[in-house]
Amino acid sequence: MKKVLLTTLAASAAYLKYQSVKQKRSMQSLVVEQGLRSFLRGPDPRRALDFEKFNHINSEVYSIPRKVHDQLDFKWLDIGMQVLKRDSIVKPEKKIIFYLHGGAYWYQPFALQYHFIAKLADRVGASVVMPIYPKAPAYDVNDALSMVMKSYQELLAISGVAAENVILLGDSAGGGLAVSLVEQLRNAQIDLPSQVILLSPWLDVSLENAKIAKIARKDPILKLEELRFEGKYYAGSESLKSPLVSPIYGDLADLPPITIFGGTNDILYPDMELFTEKAQQSVKLITYEGMFHVFPIFPLPESKRAFEQIVDIIGF
Number of domains in the chain: 1
Distance CA 202, CA 176 (A): 5
At 15, give phi and psi (nearest 5°): -65, -45
Distance CA 191, CA 187 (A): 10
279 domain residue, yes or no:
yes
203 domain residue, yes or no:
yes
13 domain residue, yes or no:
no
178 domain residue, yes or no:
yes
20 domain residue, yes or no:
no
63 domain residue, yes or no:
yes
Domain span holding position 248: 28-314
23 domain residue, yes or no:
no
Residues 178-204 as b or e (16 or more Cβ within 10 Å = b): bbbbbbbbbeeeeebbbbbbbbbbbbb
C-alpha 288 chain-centroid distance? 16
State the CATH number of the domain containing residue 269: 3.40.50.1820
Distance CA 258, CA 285 (A): 9
Over its length of 316 residues, how does the chain's per-residue pLDDT go in tens digits?
Answer: 555 444 443 444 565 655 665 677 899 999 999 999 888 888 999 999 999 999 999 999 999 999 999 999 999 999 999 999 999 887 777 799 999 999 999 999 999 999 999 999 999 999 999 999 999 999 999 999 999 999 999 999 987 789 999 999 999 999 999 999 999 999 999 999 999 999 999 999 999 999 999 999 999 999 999 999 999 999 999 999 999 999 999 999 999 999 999 999 999 999 999 999 999 878 999 999 999 999 999 999 999 999 999 999 998 6
